[in-house]
């Protein structure tokens, strides 16, 4: 990993991070469009062919799991792990319950506007399953959807060898989700966006995924809603003091192990601290179970930044807007840190705890999207319903002005519609 000197290499650092993101998009776009064409033209046949080629299916099988398959897979999960999953569901539900949009009534003279949430009707929660399996992502997608009142919730996850991960099945059973499909990747996104013989078209698709899933979600937006572009994971660690090099290295590993395309950065005010963290990385890599993935991610997308001005470091982090950020040391700069998807503060708050048990959602914006959107929440599964009623007094008070604006904008029918109300018998 290169060490950037922020004082003189600010623009180069930002370009490195952003160019890497764009490079990933260019690399996958062409492949994703071919997947789209196959799914749209051949439907279930294409999904099965992709599963045989990429997920190790030995023969075609139904895309939807039966309740018996879900039960059998879930039954293989130890009781202790079931308890762990229940605890996560409980914590996530507890946090998200407070996010429901309130009903609101606005009144003015002659005007009543009623606002309230209406849940989307059907959702597909995507659960990654490439180099690892993520029952936690199923929980993070399903719980806020259920709290929002979504009527039909489907889950899709790659079926390795034709079977889904036992813990994903157990989480689905605990959540009461029986519409589970063994299909993953960009092909799953296209299938649920447009529908096939076996896969229903939904209103919304949520959940994190690799670069191919992210690109497919970008492509289908408009045909269906999406939560956000939640692609390969990102982490920036900001150290205002020389925090434990081993601890910092392990925190960096915790995100780099997700994906070779993961982006992990470290900002430190001490050049010696950066050197110590680099030594810890080299030492810990030897025994890391996911060594190859971590090394590839750090080599290709990792970066270290030496800064002398904390304000400038915060400016760079706001510019990057990483998915996750950890702040270790002086938290006085916290009010100025605005755009990471989530900020974990202090030595006892690793991002890994946020991935599982804090209760906040771990489906978060990536690729700089944190500058304009936040993580998955209950209100993401609802639309705002607005009901407006005005009476004669409002027309008499504001009708002339509204009619004049219509004439200014060259829209005479607008003005005539307003004028007709003004002139109608009371």
Active site residues: 323-324
Helix (H, G, I), strand (E, B) or coil at 45: helix
Question: How far is residue 414's CA from residue 98's CA, in Å, rounded to a whole number?
Answer: 41
Q: What is the CB neighbour count within 10 angstroms for residue 168?
A: 27
Q: What is the CB neighbour count within 10 angstroms for residue 15?
A: 11
Question: How far is residue 112's CA from residue 116's CA, in Å, rounded to a whole number?
Answer: 13
Helical segments of 55-149, H only: 67-75, 79-96, 135-148
| Concatenated DSSP letters of 348-373 | T--HHHHHHTS-S------TTGGGT-
Which residue is listed with tokens 């260019």? 26
Which residue is listed with tokens 């996530």? 92
Q: Which of 243, 239, 228, 200 is nearest to 372 (CA)?
A: 228
Helix (H, G, I), strand (E, B) or coil at 125: strand
CA separation (Å) from 66 to 61, 115, 390?
Answer: 11, 40, 52
CB 242 within 8 A of CB 276: yes
């Amino acid at each position: 990993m290169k060490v950037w000197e922020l004082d003189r290499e600010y623009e180069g650092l930002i370009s490195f991070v952003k160019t890497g993101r764009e490079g990933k998009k260019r690399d996958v776009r062409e492949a994703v469009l071919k997947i789209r064409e196959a799914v749209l033209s051949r439907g279930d046949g294409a999904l099965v062919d992709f599963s045989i080629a990429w997920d190790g299916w030995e023969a075609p099988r139904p895309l939807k799991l039966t309740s018996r398959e879900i039960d059998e897979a879930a039954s293989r999960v130890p009781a202790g792990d079931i308890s762990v999953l229940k605890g996560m569901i409980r914590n996530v539900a507890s946090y998200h319950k407070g996010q429901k949009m309130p009903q609101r009534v606005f009144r003015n003279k002659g005007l009543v506007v009623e606002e309230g949430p209406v849940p989307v009707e059907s959702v597909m929660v995507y659960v990654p399953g490439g180099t690892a399996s993520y029952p936690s992502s199923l929980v993070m997608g399903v719980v806020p959807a259920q709290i929002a009142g979504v009527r039909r919730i489907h889950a899709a996850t790659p079926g390795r060898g034709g079977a889904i991960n036992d813990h994903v099945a157990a989480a689905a059973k605990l959540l009461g989700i029986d519409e589970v499909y063994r299909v993953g990747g960009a092909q799953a996104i296209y299938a649920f966006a447009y529908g096939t013989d076996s896969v229903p078209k939904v209103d919304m698709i949520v959940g994190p995924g690799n670069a191919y899933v992210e690109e497919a979600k970008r492509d289908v937006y408009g045909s269906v809603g999406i939560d956000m572009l939640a692609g390969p994971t990102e982490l920036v660690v900001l150290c205002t003091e020389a925090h434990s090099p081993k601890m910092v290295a392990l925190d960096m590993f915790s995100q780099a192990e997700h994906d070779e395309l993961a982006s992990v950065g470290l900002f430190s005010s001490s050049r010696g601290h950066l050197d110590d963290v680099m030594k810890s990385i080299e030492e810990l890599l030897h025994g890391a179970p996911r060594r190859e993935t971590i090394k590839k991610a750090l080599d290709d997308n990792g970066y270290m930044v030496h800064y002398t001005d904390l304000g400038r470091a915060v400016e760079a982090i706001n510019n990057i807007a990483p998915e996750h950020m950890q702040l270790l040391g002086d938290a006085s700069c916290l009010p100025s840190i605005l755009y990471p998807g989530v900020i974990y503060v202090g030595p006892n708050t690793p991002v890994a705890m946020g991935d599982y048990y804090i209760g906040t959602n771990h489906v978060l914006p990536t690729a700089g999207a944190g500058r304009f959107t936040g993580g998955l929440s209950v209100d993401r599964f609802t639309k705002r319903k607005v009901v407006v009623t005005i009476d004669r007094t409002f027309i008499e008070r504001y009708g002339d002005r509204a009619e004049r604006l219509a004439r200014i904008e060259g829209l005479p029918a607008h003005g005539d519609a307003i004028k007709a109300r003004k002139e109608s018998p009371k």
